[in-house]
A and B are shown apart, each in its own frame.
Chain A
């Protein structure tokens, strides 16, 4: 680990100004991913701005739903009464992630900002366009090790089947974000140019030619909170996570489902998948197909087929082409039979 400067701030303004002022400066929240990356020298910050003292950990009702502060801990959000009652999908997804110890440290904002777990990204001797972009520069990231994509033609069992590029096939590792994109969350950010709102589905991006960029935040922008609109999915929702062990493993495939049922009919539905793309993968076409239809296995299968359009395997992850639709059907079955 390299020496770095450490500053602690107490206001968002100070945090934003500290990060904007000099490049190589990073916000430090729970640190559950950034510190690992620093130990492996994948990220070599010159300065860390500790934002743990910012007053951004509140979870409160709003006129349209719920606002969750960016610094709220994952475990706090998962156990919060309002979240469990109105957004059980979010609670389930959070509890499916990481370990109890990590959830006690990790924040909502930090969870959104976590980097991919692609093995090639974590090893500076291996090729990676995300860690070591072709054209390095101040806003394009630092060159660090060889570029290229080690996962293409290599070990890609955990990798993406949707929205990949020839530069990168990494996946976003978060469980929480799958629930948030399904629940139509909005991200409130503040930055040197003022405040703005980002629809959650637009927060993360696909790799394209710039896999070094995970999201659409501008330099210096700080996540302040997440807004969740009220919905009618609480009764029939389910987060299904298929993983290599029962706890503390990233998803091979995960599916977040929220359904508004009227009798046996699907009035409204939200579907998103994890472990399949560089961003939380919302299944809009499948949602549209299911809306107004009876909750039958046959309809679920057709929806899953629609969801799989454009999916592409890279060898070791070909199983996801089957596991993903299987999991969609399974999650829908469980969600629609929940009392």
Chain B
């Protein structure tokens, strides 16, 4: 029913609340006798606390407690092994490393590590008291520079992280045209507008209420249940709205668990809202990653071999891995492919997935190298990609469930005006400005997980749809409403969508571009069950549609019709009344079948940019952007377009402006604020044209919809870098592409 028709653009269901202040974010909740927690962060990156003086803080006005490693209440479940990454206590240490437990020992493992948590009756008093905590340290030399410690890289555990070879590992060497290039990306920090934190309240000895900033209320519930050894059913977690997540809230961070422990200890609700500088050190980041690509092609533009090696940073106390080299394994038709992925443990806070995660990092290298090779072959970069196009997944040797990348290349090229591009760099000028065009592709795994949804159809024709997913902003609630509307024909303005609370049916975390597929399918399935219930009632004797077959009925505008003869109909309200039903209330668990084994399922994207480069000052401006998404049937066109525009904004930041800088002498960030860490401003983001292929994937789920959160960003930085090369003839392989780097290349 939804697969074969395009969906109309509908307004964001939470839009009105968000612009009128009706949407309540975690930090806006208050409780009687609530207290405020402020974290005191370590000044050093490696060593130990020699002394810590909390007396002044304890005696400061309004202070309820000062917690350090000397008096931190125990977290009972933290002695047990972790259950899954991010879903419980800190995972076990990597080989040889130390385990990080917040306020547990005097050891300092990373810059900004909490050394004390101060609780007072107001935020201001807690902040002041925190400033009175004085520590001295025994410092050790911190290893924070990935570039210096590349040799310490280890291959992490995990099937897809292992070294990969197809054909001959160094097959590229035999090609007539070869390329070797190194690409680096800096540390990037998510920097959502909303600060991270939590509000915890023990309503009883084993009953806990939490308002959190989490991308998965159920995951936070599980983590707290494990940490405090209580029944998860006794824990309620609420995160209805989020001011940006981008991956940083995909796990329960130790300071959140600590707040819950402190709240239990002092017997009062505790709220923590972190500072901006703590957002750099305590809630993860995109790891600095150094990559090398070796590529070989024949003179006809056919790839002979690719070898892709990537090394990223992790913490000394925990392994963090991501899919940095995965795209290289399946993106192009190439007989010899090898990948190698390593991580280097450093004296740094642990990274976390950041939008597009490793794939965005890897795509910068692969899609830059494709552009470099196209140039060597004197081929148009799109033509080079088409000569190496593959309709089957060479990594898994099976067909793609659906792939319309050729159409995406074409439509994007038309929209940007690709025919104005010359294959010869620096041949396009507007006055002093050099004009360049660049493109790249992106891809990310598409999947369908397991979720449960509930649908309540009322006799008045209104519908409530519930699922315990967190909508971190992409418009999941709107997509749920659209899907329910498509199945049950209930007008969107009569559909109430409820999400973001553990009292609602089970759903996974919002991350990895899976929610429309997973939760959307659950909504589809439960609404279909409601529809079938109606059809069953309608075909029973006594109904105007008696003896019709359920499959022949259509549901629209509160009426069930016989499709073949629309004069035969019954009102849903009448049907429910005659069956003495005030509502039809169904809850259903839903998951995919074996389609994921038969097909490789990916979303694809293509990004096109026009840049203007000022050769004298090195300034680069993205003057036009076109993003094309091939992500199956688009469920909610408006919010999908918004997500794509957001991807472009994030991509411009990744390409041109974002870099968290560490002074390695101290192991500390020196630009841990929004004035010095440059996210793209509105002035940096041009008008962005979004194009959706909008063809249903036949296999993935009933809607034919695939995710697009990640592909909106993946590859974008390469498109910008490729455009800068096209404008100037100079290649910058070290992000971000700042004016100093460009100008120095052009002198």
Spell out A's residues near B (CB within 8 Å).
1-3, 41, 117, 119-120, 122-123, 125-126, 150, 153-155, 157, 240, 242-250, 252, 319, 322-323, 326-327, 329-330
CA–CA, A250 and B674, complex, Å: 12
Q: Which residue of B lies closest to A320 (CB)?
A: B740
Q: Which residue of A lies closest to B738 (CB)?
A: A244
CB within 8 Å for A155 and B128 given contacts A244-B678, A248-B675, A323-B739: no
Asked whether B621 lies within 8 Å of A252 as measured between CB atoms, the reply is: no
CA–CA, A329 and B747, complex, Å: 14
Asked whether B619 lies within 8 Å of A242 as measured between CB atoms, the reply is: yes
Name the contact of B663 in the complex, choosing from A154, A245, A330 (C-beta under 8 A): A154
Query: Contacts of A153 on B, CB cut-off 8 Å?
Result: 665
Asked whether A125 lies within 8 Å of B665 as measured between CB atoms, the reply is: no
**Tier of interface size on chain B:** 35 or more
Chain A CB within 8 A of B656 CB = yes
Asked whether A247 lies within 8 Å of B618 as measured between CB atoms, the reply is: no
A-B contact pairs, 30 of them (CB 8 A): A1-B128, A1-B131, A2-B128, A119-B670, A119-B671, A119-B676, A120-B670, A123-B668, A126-B666, A126-B670, A154-B670, A157-B740, A242-B617, A242-B618, A242-B619, A244-B657, A244-B738, A245-B657, A245-B681, A246-B621, A246-B681, A247-B682, A247-B683, A248-B675, A249-B678, A322-B744, A323-B739, A323-B740, A326-B743, A327-B617
Q: Which residue of A lies closest to B125 (CB)?
A: A3
Q: Which residue of B lies closest to A158 (CB)?
A: B676
With A126-B668, A250-B675, A252-B739 given, can you name 18 additional A-B contacts, CB distance below 8 Å? A1-B127, A2-B131, A119-B670, A123-B668, A123-B670, A125-B43, A125-B44, A126-B663, A126-B670, A150-B666, A154-B670, A157-B740, A242-B618, A244-B739, A245-B681, A248-B681, A322-B743, A323-B740
CB within 8 Å for A322 and B124 given contacts A41-B131, A245-B657, A245-B680: no
Name the contact of B743 in the complex, choosing from A150, A319, A329 (C-beta under 8 A): A319
CA–CA, A1 and B131, complex, Å: 7
Asked whether B681 lies within 8 Å of A247 as measured between CB atoms, the reply is: yes
Q: Which residue of A lies closest to B61 (CB)?
A: A3
CA–CA, A330 and B432, complex, Å: 10
Asked whether A330 lies within 8 Å of B665 as measured between CB atoms, the reply is: no
Instruction: Quote the shortest CB–CB distance from B717 to chain A (angstroms).
Output: 15
CA–CA, A41 and B619, complex, Å: 35
Asked whether B131 lies within 8 Å of A326 as measured between CB atoms, the reply is: no
Instruction: Quote the shortest CB–CB distance from A39 to chain B (angstroms).
Output: 8
Instruction: Quote the shortest CB–CB distance from A313 to chain B (angstroms).
Output: 12
Name the contact of A323 in the complex, choosing from B131, B618, B663 (C-beta under 8 A): B618
CA–CA, A41 and B132, complex, Å: 11
Binary flags per residue of B615-628, CB closer than 8 Å to A gives 1, else 0: 01111010000000
Asked whether A329 lies within 8 Å of B678 as measured between CB atoms, the reply is: no
Asked whether A155 lies within 8 Å of B661 as measured between CB atoms, the reply is: yes
CA–CA, A117 and B678, complex, Å: 14
Query: Contacts of A120 on B, CB cut-off 8 Å?
Result: 670
Q: In this complex, which of B44, B128, B676 has the most chain A Cβ atoms within 10 angstroms of its Cβ?
A: B676
Chain A CB within 8 A of B170 CB = no
Q: Which residue of B lies closest to A125 (CB)?
A: B43
Name the contact of B740 in the complex, choosing from A247, A248, A319 (C-beta under 8 A): A319
Chain A CB within 8 A of B689 CB = no
CA–CA, A243 and B738, complex, Å: 9
Instruction: Quote the shortest CB–CB distance from B127 to chain A (angstroms).
Output: 6
CA–CA, A120 and B670, complex, Å: 7
Asked whether A322 lies within 8 Å of B128 as measured between CB atoms, the reply is: no
CB within 8 Å for A326 and B617 given contacts A119-B671, A244-B657, A248-B681: yes
Query: Contacts of A240 on B, CB cut-off 8 Å?
Result: 617
Q: Which of B691-747 contact A (CB under 8 A)?
A: 738-740, 743-744, 747
Query: Contacts of B670 on A, CB cut-off 8 Å?
Result: 119-120, 123, 126, 154-155
Query: Contacts of A329 on B, CB cut-off 8 Å?
Result: 616
Chain A CB within 8 A of B684 CB = yes
CA–CA, A244 and B680, complex, Å: 10
Query: Contacts of A117 on B, CB cut-off 8 Å?
Result: 675-676
Instruction: Quote the shortest CB–CB distance from A4 to chain B (angstroms).
Output: 11
Asked whether A246 lies within 8 Å of B684 as measured between CB atoms, the reply is: yes
Asked whether A330 lies within 8 Å of B682 as measured between CB atoms, the reply is: no
Asked whether A330 lies within 8 Å of B616 as measured between CB atoms, the reply is: yes
Query: Contacts of A125 on B, CB cut-off 8 Å?
Result: 43-44, 666, 668
Q: Which residue of A lies closest to B747 (CB)?
A: A322
Asked whether B684 lies within 8 Å of A245 as measured between CB atoms, the reply is: yes
CA–CA, A141 and B656, complex, Å: 39
Query: Contacts of B618 on A, CB cut-off 8 Å?
Result: 242, 323
CA–CA, A154 and B667, complex, Å: 12
Q: Which residue of A lies closest to B124 (CB)?
A: A1
Query: Contacts of B124 on A, CB cut-off 8 Å?
Result: 1
Name the contact of A247 in the complex, choosing from B44, B128, B684 (C-beta under 8 A): B684
CA–CA, A122 and B684, complex, Å: 27
Query: Contacts of A247 on B, CB cut-off 8 Å?
Result: 681-684
Instruction: Quote the shortest CB–CB distance from B737 to chain A (angstroms).
Output: 10
CA–CA, A247 and B432, complex, Å: 21
Q: Which residue of A lies closest to B614 (CB)?
A: A330
CB within 8 Å for A319 and B744 given contacts A155-B661, A245-B656, A330-B616: yes
Asked whether B676 lies within 8 Å of A252 as measured between CB atoms, the reply is: no
Asked whether B678 lies within 8 Å of A323 as measured between CB atoms, the reply is: no
Query: Contacts of B617 on A, CB cut-off 8 Å?
Result: 240, 242, 323, 326-327, 330
Instruction: Quote the shortest CB–CB distance from A35 to chain B (angstroms).
Output: 13
Q: Which residue of B lies closest to A326 (CB)?
A: B616
Instruction: Quote the shortest CB–CB distance from B460 to chain A (angstroms).
Output: 46
Query: Contacts of A1 on B, CB cut-off 8 Å?
Result: 124, 127-128, 131
CA–CA, A224 and B670, complex, Å: 35
Question: Which 10 A-B pairs give the minimum distances between C-beta atoms?
Answer: A246-B683, A119-B670, A125-B43, A247-B683, A319-B740, A247-B681, A242-B617, A326-B616, A246-B684, A245-B657
Q: Which residue of A lies closest to B656 (CB)?
A: A245
Instruction: Quote the shortest CB–CB distance from B281 to chain A (angstroms).
Output: 13
Instruction: Quote the shortest CB–CB distance from A92 to chain B (angstroms).
Output: 15
CA–CA, A120 and B663, complex, Å: 10
CA–CA, A3 and B128, complex, Å: 8
CB within 8 Å for A154 and B665 given contacts A1-B131, A119-B676, A123-B670: yes
Query: Contacts of B683 on A, CB cut-off 8 Å?
Result: 245-247
Query: Contacts of B738 on A, CB cut-off 8 Å?
Result: 244
CA–CA, A153 and B665, complex, Å: 9
Q: In this complex, which of A119, A153, A247, A250 has the most chain B Cβ atoms within 10 angstroms of its Cβ?
A: A119
Q: Which of B281-329 contact A (CB under 8 A)?
A: none
CA–CA, A103 and B685, complex, Å: 22
CA–CA, A270 and B437, complex, Å: 38
CA–CA, A323 and B124, complex, Å: 44
Q: In this complex, which of B131, B432, B619, B747 has the most chain A Cβ atoms within 10 angstroms of its Cβ?
A: B619
CA–CA, A79 and B738, complex, Å: 31
Instruction: Quote the shortest CB–CB distance from B62 to chain A (angstroms).
Output: 12
CA–CA, A323 and B663, complex, Å: 24
Instruction: Quote the shortest CB–CB distance from B44 to chain A (angstroms).
Output: 8
Instruction: Quote the shortest CB–CB distance from A173 to chain B (angstroms).
Output: 10
CA–CA, A243 and B657, complex, Å: 10
Query: Contacts of B682 on A, CB cut-off 8 Å?
Result: 247
Q: Which residue of B lies closest to A322 (CB)?
A: B747
Instruction: Quote the shortest CB–CB distance from B118 to chain A (angstroms).
Output: 13
Query: Contacts of A41 on B, CB cut-off 8 Å?
Result: 131
CA–CA, A244 and B737, complex, Å: 9
Instruction: Quote the shortest CB–CB distance from B660 to chain A (angstroms).
Output: 12
Q: Which residue of B lies closest to A249 (CB)?
A: B678
Q: Which of B583-625 contact A (CB under 8 A)?
A: 616-619, 621
Q: Which residue of B lies closest to A248 (CB)?
A: B681
CA–CA, A123 and B668, complex, Å: 10
Instruction: Quote the shortest CB–CB distance from A255 to chain B (angstroms).
Output: 10
Q: Which residue of A lies closest to B740 (CB)?
A: A319
CA–CA, A45 and B656, complex, Å: 38
Binary flags per residue of B647-661, CB closer than 8 Å to A gives 1, else 0: 000000000110001
Instruction: Quote the shortest CB–CB distance from B189 to chain A (angstroms).
Output: 15
Query: Contacts of B675 on A, CB cut-off 8 Å?
Result: 117, 248, 250
Q: Which of B123-160 contact A (CB under 8 A)?
A: 124, 127-128, 131
